[in-house]
């Protein structure tokens, strides 16, 4: 069991996916299930980063950050959080 994390760990890496929806770009982080949007790809990514920081700060304040990070695949070892090892990211088409 991990001790309660009250501060956001530094240097964690997260996945960012960007989709176009009409005139907007929607950015999404699957590890935290957080999304945002913007008029450009860069703005959407910047807004997502801000949303993720806010989410992580709130989780730390509530004492749920460790559980959220563990569920997302991050590993706590020797008083430090490590990113999950991403092996493959791919797209698959399902058709009839």
pLDDT at 9: 87
Question: Domains in the chain: how many in total?
Answer: 1
User: In this structure, is residue 48 part of a structural domain?
Assistant: yes
Domain that holds residue 46: 17-81
User: In this structure, is residue 5 part of a structural domain?
Assistant: no
Q: pTM of this prediction?
A: 0.86
User: In this structure, is residue 6 part of a structural domain?
Assistant: no
Of 56, 62, 54, 48, residue with least CA distance to 81:
56
Q: Over the stretch 30-76, which tens digit does the pLDDT of each residue have?
A: 999 999 999 999 999 999 999 999 999 999 999 999 999 999 999 99
């Amino acid at each position: 069991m991990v001790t309660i994390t009250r501060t956001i760990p530094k240097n964690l890496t997260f996945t960012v996916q960007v989709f176009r929806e009409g005139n907007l770009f929607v950015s999404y982080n699957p590890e935290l299930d957080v999304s945002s949007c913007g008029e450009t790809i860069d703005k959407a990514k910047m807004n997502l980063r801000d949303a993720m920081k806010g989410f992580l700060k709130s989780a730390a304040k509530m004492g749920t950050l460790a559980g959220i990070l563990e569920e997302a695949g991050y590993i706590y070892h020797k008083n430090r959080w490590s990113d999950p090892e991403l092996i493959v990211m791919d797209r698959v088409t399902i058709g009839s």
